[in-house]
A and B are shown apart, each in its own frame.
Chain A
Amino acid sequence: MVIDLRRCIGCHTCEVACKMENRVPLGVWPAWVKQIEKGSYPNVRKSFLPILCDHCDHPICVTVCPTNASFKRKDGIVMIDPHICIGCRYCMAACPYAVRYVHPIQKIVQKCSFCSHRVDAGLKPACVEACATGARVFGNLLDPREEVTILKNTHPVQTIKPESGTQPNIYYIGLDKDAVSSTGKGER
C-alpha cells in the first residue's frame, strides 16, 4: 500500500471505516491517524500519519509467536488465526509499530488484516475504499502495471522505522520525521 501524505487531510474516515468493516470493539484501533502540531503561533502546522499494520516482509511477530497463530499468507498479508492465539501478547512486545491490540472481548491479540475477506473477494480494503481524498492506494506491489507500484517506484517514498529490518510494506509519500518519532511524550 502507498499512502500519499500530501493528500491526507486528517479526517479519520479510514479509522471509522475500518472499525465498521471489522467490527472492532471500543477502545482499540487496527488503523488510526496520528495527528501532531508543529511550531508555535503564528507559524504552526498540523501533520498527519495514518498508521496500520505494515505487513512486513520479515515480520518479527511471526518469528516470535509461540503457537504459529501469527502467520504470513502467500500473498504477503500477515494475519492472526483467532482460534490458535492464546493471548500471550509477546507479538505486541516485539512489534516495532505498536499496531497490535488485545481484543477486549475475545482476549486474544488482533490487528489490521488488510481486510483479507475483501481482498479475497476482489475488493479493496475498507480504509482504501473510504478514503475521501484518494490518499491510500492499494494493490499488488509485484505487478509493475499497478498504480501502487508506479507510485512507489516514481516518487520519493519512505517507510516507518526502516532501521528495524522488518522491511515494511506501507510506503508513505512525504513522511514527516516528527510525526513518526514519539518525542513530545515523556521527558527527554
Chain B
Amino acid sequence: MIDILYNAEHQEALGMLIAIYFYLTGISAGSFILSTLAYVFGQAKYKPIGKIAVILATIVLIIAPMALLIHVGRPFRAWRLFYNINFTSPISWGSFLLTLYPINCILYGYYIFKNNARMTKLFGTIGIPLAISVHGYCGFILGFAKARHLWNTALMPILFLVSAIVSGIALVIFVVYIKDKFFSQERKVNEELIFDLAKLMGGFLLLDLFLVLSDVLILLTGNEEAIKAGWLLLTGKYAIPFLGIENGLGKILPAILIFSKKLRTTNRLVWASFLVMLGIFFMRFIVVFAGEFYPLI
C-alpha cells in the first residue's frame, strides 16, 4: 500500500481555452476544404454551400487565435513568436500558419463573391495545404508533448484532421439548413444537397471511429502510463463523456441516422450534424483534460 503524503502540484498546462481553440480551427479547416470541393475540384453540386463555408471558415478562424491570446500569460509579447523563431516547435510553425491562413481565406472569399473563377481556383489551391497544416499542426502540438501518453502518439495529427473535416461538414449542414429554412426567399431546403453532404460526413465519421478505436487499443497495450490513460477513457472519470457523448451520441448515432435508409430524413440529418458538432467538441475537451488528468510524479 502506498500513500502520497506530500507532493507539489502545479497549475495545469493546457486548459479549456486550448480545447476551444482546437475545436474552432478544426471547424474552420473542415469547412474551408468543403468549400474548395466546388471551386477547385469543380463539383458543381456543392456550389450552393461554397460561399457559406468560406464565410464560416474565415469568421471562426479570426475568433480562434483570441482564445490563444487569452490563454498565454503575456499576450503583449506575442510578437516574439515571429522574431525568436524555433523551427522545432509546432507553436512556431503555427504562428505563421495562423497568420497566412486567414489572409488566404479572405482573398479566396473575396474572389468567390467577385465571381473571378481563375483567382478563386488559385487561392483555393493555395488554401488546401494551408487548411490541412493549420489544423494538422494542432495535432503535432499535442504529439510533441512527450510527457503524456494520451497525446504522444503518431495518430494525433491525422485524428485531428479527420475530426476537423467531420465537424466542418457538420457545421455547414447545420448553417445551410437554418439559412434555407428561415432566411431564404423560398424557405425551402435543398434536401439532395444535405443528403450528399451527410453521406460525405458519414464516411469520415467511420474513418474517425476507426482511428479512435486503434488509438485506444494501442494505448491499452502500451506501457504503464499508457494503460492508465486508456482505462481512464474506458472506465475512469472520462468514460461517460468519451464512450457516451463523444462516440455514442457524436459518432455512432449520427452514422446510423445517415446510413440507414429507413431512418433518414432531412430533419434527422440536421440533428445528426448537431450531435456530431457536440461530439467533436467533447473529443477536444477529453483529449486536453484526460491527457492531463494524472499527475506525472
* Interface positions of A (Cβ within 8 A of B): 28-29, 32-40, 46, 49, 51, 60, 63-69, 84-90, 92-98, 100-102, 106-109, 160, 163-165, 178, 180-188
Contacts of A33 in B (CB 8 A): 6
- A93 proximity list for chain B (CB < 8 A): 13-14, 145, 147-148, 151, 292
24 interchain pairs (CB within 8 A)?
A: A29-B8, A32-B7, A33-B6, A35-B7, A51-B297, A64-B90, A64-B144, A66-B86, A84-B77, A86-B74, A86-B75, A88-B71, A89-B11, A89-B72, A90-B13, A90-B145, A95-B296, A98-B147, A106-B73, A107-B74, A182-B297, A184-B4, A187-B236, A188-B228
Give the chain A neighbours of B223 by CB distance below 8 A: 163
For the complex, what is the distance from the CA of A97 to the CA of B10, rounded to whole Å? Answer: 11
Assembly CA distance A18 to B181 (angstroms): 65
Chain A residues positioned under 8 Å from B75 (CB to CB): 86
How long is the Cα–Cα vector from A70 to B86 in the complex, in angstroms?
Answer: 10
B141 within 8 A of A: yes
> In the complex, what residues of B have CB within 8 A of residue A35's CB?
4-7
**Considering the complex, which residues of chain B in the window 48-94 have a beta carbon less than 8 Å from any beta carbon of chain A?**
68, 71-75, 77-78, 80-81, 83-86, 88-92, 94
B224 within 8 A of A: yes
Identify whether the interface residues of A are mostly helix, strand, loop, or mixed: loop
- Answer whether residue B2 sits at the interface, using C-beta atoms and an 8 A cutoff: yes
B5, B14, B78, B145: which contacts A64 (Cβ < 8 A)? B145
Q: Using Cβ atoms and an 8 Å threshold, which residues of chain B touch A106?
A: 73
Q: In whole Å, how far is B72's beta carbon from the nearest beta carbon of chain A?
A: 5
Chain B residues in the interface with A (C-beta under 8 A): 1-11, 13-14, 68, 71-75, 77-78, 80-81, 83-86, 88-92, 94-95, 141, 144-148, 151, 223-224, 228, 231-232, 235-237, 292-297
Tell me whether B91 and A64 are in contact (CB under 8 A): yes
Q: Are B72 and A87 in contact (CB under 8 A)?
A: yes
Set of chain B residues within 8 Å of A94, measured between Cβ atoms: 144-147
A28 to B9 CA separation, bound complex (whole angstroms): 8
B84 touches A67 (CB 8 A): yes
The answer to whether A66 and B91 touch across the interface, beta carbons within 8 angstroms, is yes
- A51-B297, A97-B297 known, 8 other contacts, Cβ within 8 Å: A33-B6, A37-B3, A64-B88, A66-B89, A88-B71, A92-B10, A164-B147, A185-B294
Min C-beta distance of A169 to chain B, whole Å: 17
Question: Which residue of the partner chain, among A36, A65, A87, A181, contacts B73 with CB atoms under 8 Å?
Answer: A87
